[in-house]
Structure formats: structure tokens, C-alpha cells
A = this chain, B = another copy of it.
Amino acid sequence: MGLEVAKAEQQREMTRLERMLCACRGQPTDRPPVWLMRQAGRYLPEYREIRARTSFLEMCRDPEIATEVSLQPYRRFGMDAVIVFSDILVPLTGLDLELTFQPGPRIENPIRSESDLDRLEGSVAEAMRPTCDALRALKTKLGNETPVIGFAGAPWTLAAYASEKKLSRDLAQLSTLSYRDPTLLDRMLERMAEITTEALRLQSEAGADVLQIFDTWAGMLSSERFQRFAGPALRRVLNALPTPRPPVIIFARGAGHLVDDLADLEPDVVSLDWRVDLEQVAGRIGQRVSLQGNLDPAALMAPAPEIARQVAQLIRAGRKARGHILNLGHGVLPTIPVEGVAAFVAAARDGAQTTP
């Protein structure tokens, strides 16, 4: 795009879809788009009302409820993207894993051996059907000017959950496996990469405009071990997605030490944990990938002017990257007041003009 066209682009108000796609691809935008991880969640009274009479998994499995819940934050705040309501463990429910939420995930028959792995039969497509139905419904309802985000768990993170009855903070099972039987772990990660790929491919076919991969537990690994395990599994997913594909965002929690490794995988966007200095990282990898983030989720507890101040700081820092999507550095906390989210979205929308 020539400089003149780029300038004109920046002046015209873009549609939400254009804004999001351009930010992902590092093309000029009128302002950074904004959405929030876990924006459909317990902090919303209208969400809690549904959740009071429906289990979490049932909510994921009912396309009408999933559609409604996905739209709730968009109706209130008008973010620049709607993420389909689901859970990263939903694809595993098609594979003879006895999964419950109580409220944290619990798997009665975790995978810890070759034979457990061989047992993993079933259909990801079947498990993902309600999510894909919800995605299609969202696309119909929203028209073509608002992007819908599909998502999946990264192979390493899926393996972390699949290998334990109840995930321990120190990832005991998976870490043990990585030192005792790395070959079995490799096989497990290959299998999980297939599942991640399938879940993303199905959502892309159902109309997802952007895909986000959550590697929630990658931050437990040193850079060296990320490059040995989680990284190659992610690369496998990126390579296996049919092209042309929607832009892909990768998020990893507590992974400030891995941002260069994540950029090396060449996703479209790296989503940063709140403890990372956005400006510093933008200077280092922001010309190779766009960046997403990274307000401290707890900052939404602050008074509105303080939220606006922090958003302005992020907008300034994000200009050092080829593209920037405003978001939190992790999901919305259930205890966050609705006003905090409103202040964040408003500051994102208005801040681009007023931020010097």
C-alpha cells in the first residue's frame, strides 16, 4: 500500500473487521482495535444469570446459549471483535476423556502412557459442532463488518490438562514425562497438535475471521525447553492449517522470557502477558509480528481516569510495532466491575485521537 493510500486509510473510519485484520497483518489502521480475553464471563450479570441455571460445559455445548453469551459483552461495550464462547478443552470431550468442571477442569482418565494415547479415539468435529454452529450464527447476526474470533488450546497446554486428573500449579505430570520419557511426550504433543489444528480448521471453515491459540502453560518452560517441546508442536499447527488462513494470534501466560521464541514461529500476532514491557518488546520483535495486549487484568479495578492513563501508555508503546491490538495481559477476572471494562473499551476507542 502506498504512503498516500495508507494516510487516507488512517483518516477514514474503518469497519471493525478491517481494523482487526489490518492490525493483525501490520497494515495501517484508524486506531488499534480492542477486545478482551474472557470478555464473555462471570463479571457480567447477564452471564451469571445464565450460568446460574446451566453448567459451564452445557453452555459451551448449546449453540444458542454460546451465541448469546458471546454477544453479551459486544452489546454492552461494542468491542472490535467477538470471541466465540467455548473452552480450550471442548475438543478433548470428543475423545473419550471424562472431563468435568468442578469448577476447574478435572479428567477422570488422564493420558499417561502409549496405550492411553492409542485409546484417544473419537471425533473432534463432533465435539466442536456446537462451537462451530455458534460461530456461524454469530457471523449471520453480526454481518460482515465485525470479526469473530475462533480459538483453541496449544498442544503443550492441552497435553498439560490431558495428562493430569487435576492440573497442579507445577505441571508435575507433564514435567516428569518431559524428563523421563520425552519420546512419549513427543507423541502426545503430535496428537495434541492434530487436535489443535482440527479445532482451528473447523472454526475457520465456520467463518472465524481470526484464530487465537492459547498456550496458557508454556510459560512454565525455559526458552531451551520451549524450543524442544511446546514450540515445535505450535509450529506443526501453524504449518498444518490450510492456506490461505485467517490471521493467527498466539497467547502464552507468564511468557515474557519466550516472546522471541513465539515471534520465531511467525504467527501474525503475539499476545503479551501483562508483566511484559510492551514498548521494549515492540522494539525487539514488533516489526516481524503484530502485538496484542497487555493491560494488567487487575487494573480494571482502578478508577476510570487511571485506566485511561494506562491505555494511553499502551497506545503510545504499541505504535512501535507494525500492528497493535489493545487487550488485557490475561483474561478478565470474575471480580472486575462492569464499569472497569466500559472504561477500558472507551479509552481504547477515544484514546487514539487524544494520545500524543
Contact = CB atoms under 8 A, between A and B. Distances in A.
B172 A335 contact: yes
A298 B172 contact: yes
A256 B221 CA distance: 12
A219 interface: yes
Given A169-B169, A256-B256, A298-B172, A222 B277 contact: yes
B179 A301 contact: yes
Interface string A175-204: 110111000000000000000000000000
Contact of A275 (B179, B257, B274, B330): B257
Q: How many copies, total?
A: 2
A254 interface: yes
Contacts of A175: 296, 298, 301
Nearest to A173: B335
Contacts of A179: 298-299, 301-302, 306
Interface string A212-226: 000000011111010
Contacts of A277: 222-223, 257
A333 interface: yes
Contacts of A222: 274-277, 296
Contacts of A333: 170, 172
A207 interface: no
Contacts of A221: 275
B335 A301 contact: no
Nearest to A172: B335
Contacts of A225: 296
B223 A176 contact: no
A256 to B, nearest CB: 5
Interface string A240-275: 000000000000001011000000000000000011
A73 interface: no
Contacts of A169: 169
Given A169-B169, A277-B223, A301 B180 contact: yes
Contacts of A155: none
Given A223-B277, A225-B296, A256-B256, 4 more contacts: A170-B297, A171-B298, A179-B301, A222-B274
Interface of A: 169-172, 175-176, 178-180, 219-223, 225, 254, 256-257, 274-277, 296-299, 301-302, 306, 330, 333, 335
List 5 A-B pairs, minimum CB-CB distance, nearest first: A175-B298, A179-B302, A179-B301, A176-B301, A222-B275
9 contacts: A175-B296, A175-B298, A179-B298, A179-B301, A180-B302, A219-B254, A219-B275, A254-B254, A257-B277
